[in-house]
Amino acid sequence: MSQILKDYLNTQLTELKDNGLYNEIDVVEGENGPVISIDGQELINLSSNNYLGLATDEDLKQAAKEAVDSHGVGAGAVRTINGTLDLHKELEDTLAEFKGTEAVIAFTSGFNANQGAIPAIMKKGDAILSDELNHASIIDGCRLSGAKIIRVNHSDMDDLRKKAKEATESGEYNKVMFITDGVFSMDGDVALLPEIVEIAKEFDLITYVDDAHGSGVMGKGAGTVKHFGLEKEVDMQMGTLSKAIGVVGGYVAGSQELIDYLKVAGRPFLFSTALTPADTKAITEAVRKIMASTELHDKLWENGDYLKAGLKNLGFDIGHSETPITPVIIGEEKLTQEFSKRLKEEGVYAKSIVFPTVPRGTGRVRNMPTAAHTKEMLDDALKIYEKVGKELGII
């Protein structure tokens, strides 16, 4: 190894560990369900994005098996050569119905969807107004575009209006986009989409909503945009297929013209082998389940409200979440890491989230109750939270 590289890596790793910012990666043995096993220890799992419990659903497993039997284990090519299978068309048609748009394009991940869609539309000479708490994949997609990035204070409509007016009236930019998460994953709050759409209409902004944590959760499952009835007003809806949907992948939903263009201009779509047959069929099964019944969605919200009330009653700072995502905000990074470690030792897996995922001094453990949790599991988790919180002087 290069000595320069070795010295750099050792310096960076030491600094991260000294500041409580080094992330230890645990290995889950078996399924990622409401209870998981790590190093032989069974833990109540409050760190999964598997909101509806579909990652372990028997119907999805069967759909995946049937796809392997009929189509093999891989798509065999990128979508634009001969990797577009009938299963991909079925999935994209189903997603378009689900999201209430004319068409959908599927990518191999949500990160890829943002990396593909944002730079395909926005270029050097354009401007992107971006909420300051947007996900890293949005930030990276914006950087790749070459457009001027203008940070907007989080969910601050006065700041958005001011900066939209400045950008559009300056004459410097060919086009201007506003981009935001639908549900913000670290705090659980929801974008003010009705107000955003109103401002976008006033200044002719392109609107882009990353609904990774809203699909399956908001709008009776159809997402944050549909929750507000704005599927005909938002230009671009991005979502993942790996969280509430329970599998892997991402997509962008919008007009037929938009999707036709992204299929020839979205670089991750052009240069990545297509989603596997098994994943594609399982995703389609998941979306159809969500469209057919709100049972899992309703159970998720019931469990989320129950855990949130329990943590708040114990005296924890849970922020201002409007969704089942429930942060317990600790603040100092080393204490946050110690809190997460002690929870794990007592039987709860709630991963610490620190800088750079969240700003310095706002460390938290983020709780993600799912439709698969029982009240007994949540009660046991609350007892452990109380014990560890008192032991460390947090409550």
Q: Is the pLDDT of residue 15 over 90?
A: yes
The residue behind tokens 């290995």 is: 27
**Residue 243 catalytic?**
yes
Mean pLDDT of the chain: 96
How sure is the predictor about 294, in pLDDT bands with cuts at 50, 70 and 90?
very high
Euclidean distance between CA atoms 68 and 20, whole angstroms: 44
Q: Is the pLDDT of residue 61 over 90?
A: yes
Q: Is the pLDDT of residue 358 over 90?
A: no
Euclidean distance between CA atoms 336 and 77, whole angstroms: 45
Q: How many residues does the chain have?
A: 395
Summarised one tens digit per residue, pLDDT across range 181-233 is 999 988 899 999 999 999 999 999 999 999 999 999 999 999 999 999 999 99
**pLDDT value of position 4:** 98
**pLDDT value of position 357:** 83
Q: Which of 99, 163, 213, 297 is catalytic?
A: 213
Summarised one tens digit per residue, pLDDT across range 299-341 is 999 999 999 999 999 999 999 999 999 999 999 999 999 999 9
**pLDDT value of position 255:** 98
The residue behind tokens 């007592």 is: 346
Neighbours of 53 (CB within 10 A): 19
**pLDDT value of position 21:** 80
Reference 79, options 45, 50, 105, 103; nearest CA is 105
Q: Is the pLDDT of residue 38 over 90?
A: yes
Euclidean distance between CA atoms 362 and 384, whole angstroms: 22
Q: Which of 185, 215, 321, 340 is catalytic?
A: 185
**Residue 163 catalytic?**
no
**Residue 185 catalytic?**
yes
Q: Which of 71, 135, 226, 243 is catalytic?
A: 243
* Percent above pLDDT 90 for the chain: 94
How sure is the predictor about 23, in pLDDT bands with cuts at 50, 70 and 90?
confident
**pLDDT value of position 98:** 96
Summarised one tens digit per residue, pLDDT across range 238-256 is 999 999 999 999 999 999 9
Euclidean distance between CA atoms 203 and 388, whole angstroms: 51
DSSP state string for 85-143:
-HHHHHHHHHHHHHHTSSEEEEES-HHHHHHHHHHHH--BTBEEEEETT--HHHHHHHH
SS3 282: helix
Q: What are the structural domains of the chain?
A: 19-48+294-391 (3.90.1150.10), 57-292 (3.40.640.10)
How sure is the predictor about 359, in pLDDT bands with cuts at 50, 70 and 90?
confident
